[in-house]
Amino acid sequence: MKLSFLCILLGLLGAAPCVAGPVLVPLEAVMEKGQPQTRAAPDGKRQASVMQPLADAAMATSLAAEAKVGATAFALELDAMAQRVAGSTQLAPIYLFLSLEEGGFARRGFWLQEPGGRLQWHEDPYVDLIVDARSIEDGSFEEIFAHELGHALLRRLLGSLPFGYSRNRHASIAVTDYPTAFDEGFATHFQALARLLTRNPQLRAQDAGTSFKPFLPYWRDNIDRNLRVRGVRDNLFVQHQAPWPASPTPGNPDATTLFDTTQLKNGQQMMASEGVIATLFYHLMTQGVAITPDDTAALRTRYEELFRALQALGSTTSLKSDTPIFLSVAQQFMAQTPAARSRWAQTIIGITYGATVERALPQQAEGLSLASRTGNDEEFVEQLGAARKAMAALVQRVESNPRLLTAALGSEIWMAGEAGGMPVNVNTAERDSLVLLLKLDASVAERALQSRRQQGLFQNVADFSRRAGLNAAQAAQLAASGKAIIGAGPNPRE
């Protein structure tokens, strides 16, 4: 885009033209025959939206006011910080596309229509949201904008993220794959942070639980949104998710809200859970620092350290579909920032109970939980001291050697129950996925899961088939499906 047009546009929005700093620029679709206009990107490989400056003056004024306060203002500061860390000297604004349908994963690249109809290609990432007066008034814009901008921050710092093989619909309660969980989990942690930084009275009331409305708590999207805050704060997602008592949803059967506190997810499940990733980032950024809408200095310092680790990782490492990206970031951070190494080791091991490192500490944690569940207080107290010592020892080991963080992850093993069916990773799947998607008998699924808990993760397709007790035909079909899934490549979610 010509710099002169950008300067004029920023001036019209009330920003100092071409001054380095966080700026939000709202755009809307150029319509053609009642439909949003698109045009092939310069590379010819995709269609991109055609946009123009927002014509609704009242909405533009409201968004300009939002950009100056609370979580939105902080998110824009982080975007400017990310650009500087990535080496930019001329900061780009963050573009907000007021779309006509829900967005999703981060978007990059659009056509901007200048006065006179000339189109200019713009390669920057942008936030894609439905925005109206109500969403601004009740604070949902502030919270979801922070989430969506999180995706853009990753693109600025890490470049292009790989795709994973899962086709599960992503959600806080879903287990997908390493890249999807990392991308969504990083973005999700900003929603819990937004509740700490907002000045919006309606959002603060919702966070305090004083704005309860009947029936709405049953709405699936509302359940997911609440879990993205309370589940993250309370470290709920590391717990095993029990099967639905009634018929599960075929598209994502293991994504339940029935958390069993006597069992933990395994390490691979945790790293493929956006809820767990969000929990880790939230606690790493917020624990032990004062945070108010008027005091974010310590928080900014932590994000700058994190951003430098993300940028270094993106510039030196080729991330792949089977890369446990969060743990790679942690290892990079601990190498770059020795002063914070102990805090990161303590937080990661404390949140996950060391499940990505070993099986012993998670088993101790489960024993404690079971003693509490059965009301055996004496046994709980007796085991607590030993568990704390074991955790402290594991933290020291990880602090000395961060490479241990991935020691207990194992391999991804993807299969499908039929040609073109939903891919299932048997090291993260639970009963309903094995039954509904892999077409296994319930007894076979239970046998496989019991073996996984007692003997550890499966090594390969043959190991799974043997421990599950499959016949030769079943084993051959699953092996063939696994090769087909890998041959077809990852699932492009954008």
Give residue 101's pLDDT: 79
Give residue 100's pLDDT: 83
Give residue 370's pLDDT: 93
Mean pLDDT of the residues in the chain: 93
Q: Find the mean pLDDT for residues 440-454.
A: 96
Both tokens of residue 287? Answer: 């624990």
From the list 138, 427, 135, 105, the residue with the least C-alpha distance to 274 is 105
Q: Is the pLDDT of residue 154 over 50?
A: yes
pLDDT band at 366 (very low <50, low <70, confident <90, very high): very high
Give the whole-angstrom CA distance, residue 345 versus residue 357: 11
Q: Is the pLDDT of residue 13 over 90?
A: no
Distances (CA, A) of 283 to 57, 167, 351: 39, 28, 9
DSSP run (H or E) holding 320: none
pLDDT band at 249 (very low <50, low <70, confident <90, very high): confident
Give the whole-angstrom CA distance, residue 398 versus residue 411: 21
Q: Find the mean pLDDT for residues 245-274.
A: 91
Both tokens of residue 330? Answer: 């942690």
Give the whole-angstrom CA distance, residue 412 versus residue 249: 23
Give the whole-angstrom CA distance, residue 295 versus residue 432: 46
Neighbours of 314 (CB within 10 A): 21
What's the whole-model pTM score? 0.94
Give residue 247's pLDDT: 76
Percent of the chain's residues with pLDDT above 90: 83
pLDDT in tens, 347-357: 999 999 999 99
Give residue 339's pLDDT: 96
Contacts of 100 (CB under 8 A, 6+ apart): 29, 36, 130
Give residue 16's pLDDT: 47
- Structure-derived torsion over alpha carbons of residues 170, 181, 317, 44, reported in degrees to the nearest 10: 10
DSSP run (H or E) holding 262: strand 259-264
Pick among 2.40.10, 1.10.8, 1.10.150, 2.170.270: CATH of 414-488: 1.10.150
From the list 397, 392, 409, 395, the residue with the least C-alpha distance to 355 is 409
Give residue 8's pLDDT: 52
Q: Is the pLDDT of residue 4 over 80?
A: no
Give residue 106's pLDDT: 65
Q: Find the mean pLDDT for residues 174-195.
A: 97
Between 1 and 347, residue with greater pLDDT: 347
Residue at 134: amino acid letter: R
Percent of the chain's residues with pLDDT above 70: 95
Both tokens of residue 207? Answer: 């966070």
Which residues face 63 on adjacent strands? none
Between 232 and 21, residue with greater pLDDT: 232
pLDDT in tens, 387-440: 999 999 999 999 999 999 999 999 999 999 998 899 999 999 999 999 999 999
424 phi and psi angles, rounded to 5 deg: -130, 125
Give the whole-angstrom CA distance, residue 108 versus residue 152: 8
Both tokens of residue 101? Answer: 């349908």
Q: Find the mean pLDDT for residues 92-99.
A: 93
Q: How many CA atoms lie within 13 A of 387 on its CB side?
A: 20
pLDDT in tens, 256-270: 999 999 999 999 999
Which residues face 260 on adjacent strands? 240
Q: Are 407 and 401 in contact (CB under 8 A)?
A: no
- Specify the range with the lowest mean pLDDT, choosing from 12-21, 112-121, 387-396: 12-21
Both tokens of residue 129? Answer: 């949201």
391 phi and psi angles, rounded to 5 deg: -65, -45
Q: Is the pLDDT of residue 236 over 70?
A: yes
Q: Is the pLDDT of residue 318 over 70?
A: yes
Q: Is the pLDDT of residue 450 over 50?
A: yes
Contacts of 33 (CB under 8 A, 6+ apart): none
Give residue 248's pLDDT: 77
Give residue 164's pLDDT: 97
pLDDT band at 104 (very low <50, low <70, confident <90, very high): low
Q: Is the pLDDT of residue 1 over 50?
A: no
Residues of the chain with CATH 1.10.150: 414-488
Which residues face 36 on adjacent strands? 31
Give residue 103's pLDDT: 62
**3-class SS shares of the chain: helix, strand, coil, % to 5:** 50, 10, 35
Q: Is the pLDDT of residue 2 over 50?
A: no
Residue at 319: amino acid letter: L
Give the whole-angstrom CA distance, residue 333 versus residue 303: 11
Give the whole-angstrom CA distance, residue 225 versus residue 218: 12
Q: Find the mean pLDDT for residues 60-80.
A: 97
Residue at 175: amino acid letter: V
Distances (CA, A) of 180 to 65, 86, 105, 131: 33, 22, 10, 25
Give residue 250's pLDDT: 75
Alpha carbon 149 to its chain centroid, in Å, reads 12
pLDDT in tens, 321-336: 999 999 999 999 999 9
DSSP E strand boundaries for 54-141: 94-98, 107-113, 119-129
Integer Rg of the chain from CA? 24
Q: Is the pLDDT of residue 223 over 70?
A: yes
From the list 41, 38, 9, 47, the residue with the least C-alpha distance to 26 is 9
- Specify the range with the lowest mean pLDDT, choosing from 97-101, 237-241, 482-486: 97-101
Give the whole-angstrom CA distance, residue 166 versus residue 160: 18
Give residue 228's pLDDT: 96
